[in-house]
Amino acid sequence: MTGIVVAVDGPAAAGKGTLARRLAAALNLPYLDTGLLYRAVGRRVLDAGADPRDAALAEAAARALTPADLDRTDLRGPMADMAASAVAAIPAVRAALLDFQRSFGRARGAVLDGRDIGTVVFPEARVKLYVTASVEERARRRFLELQGRGVAADLSQVEAEIRGRDAQDASRPVAPLKPAADAILLDTTNLDAEAAFAAALHLVRGRLG
Ligand code: CDP
Ligand code: CDP
């Protein structure tokens, strides 16, 4: 499968990462979670005690990113989620992260998950999946994840946070969250991770011919 790019986009907690990681293993392709890049930039700005909407600081943070930033263990949680979404709305931040994502995918093909992989990063991707699920189901999944990590959370608060972040991601002028015109839509509301993977692999193999 060398050289093939598979784009996996969709809203928060749809199961993109879980699915993309499994697809990459099945297709023997490298995997990149592009959300981590925005999360790491947001984290750097928060660490500086600044507002993640500060365009100059966020751009500098994006340009200074190192691989070690992506290994940090504090990239998830409500603060980190919103900081990622805030820096992701800044055009200069997106521009600074573009080359890395494209080089990663071009080296030997890849499965990448995010919001704009099929629309902006790899508009020429061989296969594009847009993975979604109802907001209630996505909130339930994120809530269970938080519980599993021992983080106290409130389901209705998790749902409100997801709604807010999706609205912010979908309404930004640059690279908004939306399916590419040629993306295959996969609604996993009633599918567990295993069934979603089986359905996705079938769709991907169909596209690859
Ligand atoms: O990357 P994204 O935020 O879209 O989702 P994720 O980090 O892959 O997390 C989704 C969570 O929902 C994980 O705990 C999965 O086990 C679970 N899940 C899933 O990924 N896919 C389903 N169809 C059902 C549940
Ligand atoms: O796992 P979850 O879906 O909750 O979030 P993520 O994929 O880690 O992305 C975190 C944030 O980064 C999103 O809310 C987007 O604002 C931003 N992002 C983006 O703008 N473009 C991407 N390709 C990936 C993430």
Whether 90 is covered by a domain: the verdict is yes
For residue 114, how far is its CA from the centre of ligand 2 (angstroms)? 6
* Residue 198 in domain: yes
Residue 149 lies in a domain: yes
- Structural domain span for residue 186: 5-204
3-state secondary structure the chain: CCCCEEEEECCCCCCHHHHHHHHHHHHCCCEEECHHHHHHHHHHHHHCCCCCCCHHHHHHHHHCCCHHHHCCCCCCCHHHHHHHHHHHCCHHHHHHHHHHHHHHHHHHCEEEEECCHHHHHCCCCCEEEEEECCHHHHHHHHHHHHHHCCCCCCHHHHHHHHHHHHHHHHHCCCCCCCCCCCCEEEECCCCCHHHHHHHHHHHHHHHHC
Using the atom order of ligand 2, give the atom closest to the CA of residue 86. 16
The answer to whether 6 touches 110, Cβ cutoff 8 Å, is: yes
Substitution site in 8, 9, 16, 18 for ligand 1 pocket (most atoms within 8 Å of beta carbon) = 18
Q: What is the spatial distance between Cα 15 and Cα 196, in angstroms, rounded to a whole number?
A: 9
- Total domain count for the chain? 1
- Phi then psi for residue 32, to 5 deg, are -130, 125
pLDDT score for 30: 98
Cβ < 6 Å from ligand 1: which residues?
12-18, 141, 145, 188, 191-193, 196
Task: Report residue 149 as tokens.
Answer: 């990590």
Residue 69 within a domain: yes
Residue 91, domain member (yes or no) = yes
Is 115 in contact with 33 (CB distance < 8 Å)? no
| Within a domain: 82 | yes
Output the CA 127–ligand 1 centroid distance in Å.
Answer: 20
Given the cut 0.95, state whether the ipTM is greater than it: yes
| pTM of the full structure | 0.98
The whole-number mean pLDDT for each consecutive block of 10 residues of the chain, a chain of 209 residues, reads 92 98 98 98 98 98 97 94 98 98 98 98 98 98 95 96 98 98 98 98 95
Q: Which residue lies with its CA nearest to atom 5 of ligand 1?
A: 15
The CATH number of whichever domain residue 175 belongs to comes to 3.40.50.300
Name which residue sits closest to atom 7 of ligand 1, judged by CA: 17
Ligand closest to Cα of 138 equals 1
Q: Is residue 191 part of a domain?
A: yes
Q: Which of 141, 143, 165, 189 to mutate to test the pocket of ligand 1 (most atoms within 8 A of CB)?
A: 141
pLDDT at 2: 75
- Distant-in-sequence, close-in-space partners of 194: CB < 8 Å, separation ≥ 6: none
Is 209 inside any structural domain? Answer: no
Q: Answer yes or no: are the C-beta atoms of 90 and 55 closer than 8 Å.
A: yes
Residues with CB under 6 A from ligand 2: 12-13, 17, 34-35, 38-39, 81, 84-85, 88, 114-117, 165, 169
For residue 1, the model assigns a pLDDT of: 67
